[in-house]
Structure 1
Amino acid sequence: MFDSVAPILPVRDLDAALDRYRDLGFTAHAYEGPQRYGFVERDGVALHLTESPGHDPATTDTAVYLYVGDADAVYAEWAGATGHLHQPRDTPWGLREFSYVDPDGTLHRVGSWLAPPSQP
């Protein structure tokens, strides 16, 4: 049985990334050891951050999908975020979603179901 998952996202500057996630409503803290590593969490969703000074935002294909209760509300909350925020839209696959690309090039797709998903 799986309990949870925490994607590990590369960032160029850990301190700046932790501040950015705090601005997005996450709690954030750095690992206390010698490695430049961080943890962010919001409403039970966890992401890990690893500092990689050679990380190139122009060539990354790092992406994460965040399911939320209300994509429009999260979009409004993230309106001042640094990076590129794209307006919510309804998708053919039944989600109201928007995307946010942060300064490290990570694509965050954020969506809420338009109707409860059907069970197999």
Structure 2
Amino acid sequence: MIIRWIERDWFACRQHRIAARKGKRMLKSICPIFPSRDFDTTAGFYENLGFQEVSRYEAEGYLILVRAAVEVHFFRCPGHNPASSDHGAFVRVDDATALSKRFEPKNLPGMGIPRFEKAEDKPWGICELAIIDPDGNLLRMGHIMEA
């Protein structure tokens, strides 16, 4: 079952790249929209991971952070409870292990909220790491392992 999913996923990604080269790409990207209790805290946390703040709309309660081609959006939610957060996104990366090694010196905790879980090979064929931000939002980052 897992192998079939990976094969389908790889095929879909390959088909998407082919369509993009032919100028047939209609969908460009997806950006998660996470809750944030405090934009300054959120921006500081993600800036430590290499993201840059590109837009902040105080009146509308909206924040946008970017690292390379990855955009993460946030809406102001002062009453959000990080311990019960169910918000998350998966980010495909070229090498989760190398990225994990870059995040290790940031000295993020290994337990609690926020936290960083080092990259490891998962039984479903993905090498992935996990970052939980101060609001309990989950970012998994990974790549498909070679067979």
Distance 2:77 2:27 in 1: 28
Question: Who is 1:84 aligned against?
Answer: 115
Question: Who is 1:49 aligned against?
Answer: 74
| Larger strand share, 1 or 2 | 1
Say if 2:125 is the partner of 1:100. Answer: no
Q: Between Structure 1 and Structure 2, how many residues are aligned?
A: 116
Distance 1:12 1:22 in 2: 17
Distance 2:31 2:60 in 1: 18
| Larger helix share, 1 or 2 | 2
Q: How far off its partner does 1:89 sit?
A: 1.3
| Unmatched tracts of structure 1, length 5 or more | none
Aligned partners of 1:30 and 1:36 also within 8 Å: no
Q: TM-score of the superposition, structure 1-length normalised? A: 0.86
In the TM superposition, what are the counterparts of 1:12-91 in structure 2 within 5 Å? 12-32=37-57, 34-79=59-104, 80=106, 81=108, 83-91=114-122
State the Cα deviation string for residues 68-115 of structure 1 (Å, max 9, x = none).
111112112222236211122111222111112111111111112212
Say if 2:114 is the partner of 1:114. Answer: no
- The alpha-carbon distance between structure 1 residues 38 and 73, as it changes in their structure 2 partners (threshold 3 A), is same
Distance 2:100 2:128 in 1: 9
**Aligned-partner residue type, residue 112 of structure 1:** H
Q: How far off its partner does 1:66 sit?
A: 1.1
What is the root-mean-square deviation of aligned Cα atoms in Å? 1.7
Between structure 1 and structure 2, the one with the greater Rg is 2
- The alpha-carbon distance between structure 1 residues 15 and 29, as it changes in their structure 2 partners (threshold 3 A), is farther
Q: TM-score of the superposition, structure 2-length normalised? A: 0.71
Q: How far off its partner does 1:33 sit?
A: 5.3
Identity %: 33
**Aligned-partner residue type, residue 77 of structure 2:** S
